[in-house]
Structure 1
Amino acid sequence: MSAVVSPGAPGERLSRACVLAYGSGDVGNNIVHAMGMIFLLHYYTDVAGLGAAVAGTVLLAVRLYDAVVDLVIGRWLDSRSANARGERLRPFLLWGVLPLLLNVAVFSVPAHWSADARLLYAVISYALLGTAYSLVNIPYGALISAMTQDSHDHARLGAARSVMSILTFVGVSLLIGLLARVEGFGLQTTLTGAAALMAVLGYLCHLACHRGVRERVARKQPAIDWRLSLRTLRGNRPLAAVGVAAVLALGGASASSASLIYYARYVLGDGASFPWLILPATLLGMLVATPLAPRLAARYGKRQSFLAGVLCAALAHAVLFAVAPAGLPAAAALLGLGSIGLNVAMICLWALEADTVEYGEQRTGLRLEGTNYALFSLMRKLGFALGGAVPAFLLAHSDYVPNLSMQGPLATLVILIAVGLFPALCFLLARLVIGLHPWSGLQTP
């Protein structure tokens, strides 16, 4: 075997404090992630003054670069030796201040610079943020498999991560809803200050995670070269299916998230309604799905629970598009229903990814937490790249005019597509990928 549970802990389940500590680490990660998913496209087009097509190209190019960086960092992690305390991943939590500070820079594009200079600043600052984020997030994600080999604990850790992720999304969304009421130069100044305060909070959460978790699964294998890593991953077909499903599910989810502020301002005609859309789209799903998903997974299996959840999300977004323009109550209800389904699906998908590490070890004797998670993260970044670019390119090929209260009919239509129809199609395709894949040999029905 290439991994053993640390002495003194065989069969021991993770404590609730340990699970909560692990989840707290995702607060720091998701301050960066949430601001990028929810607000960065709108910031670039309506505050920094970049054209929609230019903003979409920046998001697509940098997120594709991030995806490659994730794989390189994951491979590097698997080639590293443990430190004197037997840890390879946990120490990187202390680096969490880097992406949080760079996030402040990303949302501080100098307004007085020329268009070319602002574009260059946006590309460089966002690329540096992506690199620093990967240096923290890849080890953090891989910690699940290094903390325990128990499939049920994988699900608990995935649920804790989802809870903290959604709570952070809610907090950031509420803050953005307040910031959206500030106009002119004051918005940029206020946004920079808010990002700095969130950086302090995020790093405190990284420190709490570092203090509360331990790597209990010790590796017993030599350094692994690139060719052996790739050969091992090629044989891990469940990981490939989970990765493709992540591209599709997160592509749809991120497209909807990035477009909601446009939906609030230009379809509903009231930017102040944005928090009332994002709350059911995030908080309601978390509150219902977090206790529901582990129970569904225990009774019906992670795969079947994923299929049910993602179908629910697809139907809700399809109806949101079909009944447009829906009023605020109807839109909030449909987004809430979609959020419940999507959160059930993503909690199960996180647990399935952790199970693929065990599957790969069973087949090859090699345990590749870092590379496994990095490949999964690469696919997630492809999803985020897709979800961030599609709304931007749709806007660019419509009659959209930034900050114009009454948009043209084509601009309104593409916003509805980005919020409703496109996510629904992505969710259905993700369901098809997981539903058609054979799962023999994996620790899940």
Structure 2
Amino acid sequence: MLFSVLVFCVPAEWSHSNKVIYAYLTYMGLGFCYSMVNIPYGSLATAMTQEPRSRARLGAARSIAASLTFVCLAFLIGPRITHSSPTEMASVYLFWTIILAIAGMALYFICFKSTRENVVRIVAQPSLKISLQTLKQNRPLMMLCTGALCILISTFAVSASSLFYVRYVLNDTALFSVIVLVQMLVGSVASAPLVPRLVAKIGKKNTFLAGALMGTLGYLLFFYMSDHSVPVALTALAIAAIGQGITMTVMWALEADTVEYGEYLTGVRIEGLTYSLFSFTRKCGQAIGGSIPAFILGLSGYIANQTQTPEVITGIRMSISLIPCGFMLLAFIIIWFYPLTDNKFKEIVQEIDKRKQSQQQLIKDFNK
């Protein structure tokens, strides 16, 4: 939280080069501290419970809270910087960053005091070599990371294409906020509460598959409607966003299950390293997805602030619909072969519990 504030506390009297160095150092510090917090935080669900529906609820709570925060910040800060000068904008950012840092510290304290790690480890502190070997053998984790990569590419391709779509295809930039609301509120907030119920009825894997299929069909319909009827196009986008939101939410529960699978194979439980790989894969998906529109627009001959050619319009429509559709379909195919079903997971947890009980009994017998 301290680095969040420091990023926006650039001394005004410094030279430009010193300001740039300061910005690099403070932002690197922010990124480092964020990773130090986010990795154990993201691993908490795995350590708190092994019950599938509880993990789905934790994932849903995370998705809803993140989406609502994003939307609230857009409405709180956005209007205050729209017509601000650079100096005024810096003051606005600093003020709100301080407020949010204070709120964040309070929330971190509440999280620290109210959460408990209930899952017992067999091997308390495995070496890095053993941890990497465990990671290498975890086939479900590798498949999930690949599926998550596809989902994140799809998500961020849509986000990066939205402004081009409303400006050059719909010719109405006022619709940009509508598209963002459809993606964030409908996609995450509306879909996340459905996930625990779906998991209870059809399981985590099938919930992911249902969401991926829904997203695929929604984006396909969006492509055919994206330059015709705006209401129908937005409805198709909402369908795709709900499907995408379901996959984004349930993948947190799936990631937690892969920790037990690794423990089942090797006896080593590595929540942190598992989540680190999963998080890194997601970041790669964000970067690739965000760059896709720029790549396609460059190939199609895009020139900013001009009337675009039919080739550019087609490229924009593909970036916001067909390409996300293709990656959603690829994620569906990958997870179709995902071996860790709910029944298999129950068997794994039961086997791990038997091993722990046997180990505890051996310790008791040894101490007699």
The 10-residue stretch of structure 1 (293-302 or 238-247) with the greater mean CA deviation from structure 2: 293-302
Q: Residues 232 and 164 from structure 1, CA distance in 2 versus in 1: closer, same or farther, beyond 3 angstroms?
A: same
Alpha-carbon distance in structure 1 between the residues aligned to 2:263 and 2:253: 16
* Equivalent in the alignment of 1:355: 257
What aligned pairs does 1:260-339 form with structure 2 within 5 A after superposition?
A: 260-339=162-241
* Equivalent in the alignment of 2:34: 133
Alpha-carbon distance in structure 2 between the residues aligned to 1:190 and 1:328: 38
CA-based RMSD of the aligned residues comes to 3.4
Instruction: Give, as a single letter, the amino acid of the residue that structure 2 aligns with 1:442.
Output: F
Contact 1:144 1:157 in 2 (8 A): yes
* Equivalent in the alignment of 1:164: 65
* Equivalent in the alignment of 2:345: 442
Residue of 246, 257, 271 corresponding to 2:148: 246
Contact 1:281 1:332 in 2 (8 A): no
Structure 1 residue 341: deviation in Å?
0.8
* Equivalent in the alignment of 2:318: 417
Structure 1 residue 191: deviation in Å?
6.7
Q: Residues 333 and 293 from structure 1, CA distance in 2 versus in 1: closer, same or farther, beyond 3 angstroms?
A: same
* Structure having the larger proportion of residues in helix: 2
Alpha-carbon distance in structure 1 between the residues aligned to 2:44 and 2:103: 22
Residue of 296, 311, 319 corresponding to 1:394: 296
Instruction: Give, as a single letter, the amino acid of the residue that structure 2 aligns with 1:221.
Output: V
Q: Residues 443 and 268 from structure 1, CA distance in 2 versus in 1: closer, same or farther, beyond 3 angstroms?
A: farther
Q: Residues 192 and 248 from structure 1, CA distance in 2 versus in 1: closer, same or farther, beyond 3 angstroms?
A: same
Alpha-carbon distance in structure 1 between the residues aligned to 2:208 and 2:346: 15
Structure 1 residue 180: deviation in Å?
8.3
Q: Residues 307 and 173 from structure 1, CA distance in 2 versus in 1: closer, same or farther, beyond 3 angstroms?
A: farther
Instruction: Give, as a single letter, the amino acid of the residue that structure 1 aligns with 2:127.
Output: D
Q: Residues 123 and 390 from structure 1, CA distance in 2 versus in 1: closer, same or farther, beyond 3 angstroms?
A: farther
Structure 1 residue 369: deviation in Å?
0.7
Alpha-carbon distance in structure 1 between the residues aligned to 2:32 and 2:181: 30
Count of equivalent residues: 342
Kindly indicate whether residue 129 of structure 2 is the aligned counterpart of residue 227 of structure 1: yes
What aligned pairs does 1:360-375 form with structure 2 within 5 A after superposition?
A: 360-375=262-277
Structure 1 residue 123: deviation in Å?
7.0
What TM-score does the superposition give when structure 1 sets the normalisation length?
0.67
Residue of 349, 374, 380 corresponding to 2:282: 380
Alpha-carbon distance in structure 2 between the residues aligned to 1:307 and 1:322: 23
Contact 2:213 2:243 in 1 (8 A): yes
Structure 1 residue 216: deviation in Å?
2.9
Q: Residues 230 and 124 from structure 1, CA distance in 2 versus in 1: closer, same or farther, beyond 3 angstroms?
A: same
The 10-residue stretch of structure 1 (193-202 or 128-137) with the greater mean CA deviation from structure 2: 193-202
Structure 1 residue 295: deviation in Å?
1.5
In structure 1, list runs of 5 or more residues that go unmatched.
Answer: 1-96
Structure 1 residue 301: deviation in Å?
1.2
Kindly indicate whether residue 258 of structure 2 is the aligned counterpart of residue 258 of structure 1: no
Structure 1 residue 377: deviation in Å?
0.9
* Equivalent in the alignment of 1:75: none
Alpha-carbon distance in structure 1 between the residues aligned to 2:80 and 2:300: 26
Select the structure of larger CA radius of gyration: 2
Contact 2:3 2:27 in 1 (8 A): no
Q: Secondary structure at the match of 1:262?
A: helix
**Identical amino acids, percent of aligned pairs:** 39
Q: Secondary structure at the match of 2:171?
A: coil
What TM-score does the superposition give when structure 2 sets the normalisation length?
0.80
Structure 1 residue 114: deviation in Å?
12
Structure 1 residue 104: deviation in Å?
4.9
Q: Secondary structure at the match of 1:217?
A: coil
What aligned pairs does 1:204-223 form with structure 2 within 5 A after superposition?
A: 204-223=106-125
Q: Residues 262 and 123 from structure 1, CA distance in 2 versus in 1: closer, same or farther, beyond 3 angstroms?
A: farther
Alpha-carbon distance in structure 2 between the residues aligned to 1:188 and 1:296: 44
Structure 1 residue 435: deviation in Å?
0.4
The 10-residue stretch of structure 1 (180-189 or 384-393) with the greater mean CA deviation from structure 2: 180-189
Structure 1 residue 311: deviation in Å?
1.0
Q: Residues 257 and 178 from structure 1, CA distance in 2 versus in 1: closer, same or farther, beyond 3 angstroms?
A: farther
Q: Residues 357 and 383 from structure 1, CA distance in 2 versus in 1: closer, same or farther, beyond 3 angstroms?
A: same
Alpha-carbon distance in structure 1 between the residues aligned to 2:54 and 2:271: 16
Alpha-carbon distance in structure 2 between the residues aligned to 1:431 and 1:121: 44
Contact 2:68 2:189 in 1 (8 A): no
Q: Secondary structure at the match of 1:223?
A: coil
Alpha-carbon distance in structure 1 between the residues aligned to 2:192 and 2:23: 36
Question: For residues 206-242 of structure 1, what are the alpha-carbon distances to aligned partners after superposition, in whole Å with 9 as ceiling and x for unaligned?
Answer: 3332333233334452432222111111221111111
Q: Secondary structure at the match of 2:53?
A: helix
* Equivalent in the alignment of 2:44: 143
Contact 2:122 2:267 in 1 (8 A): no
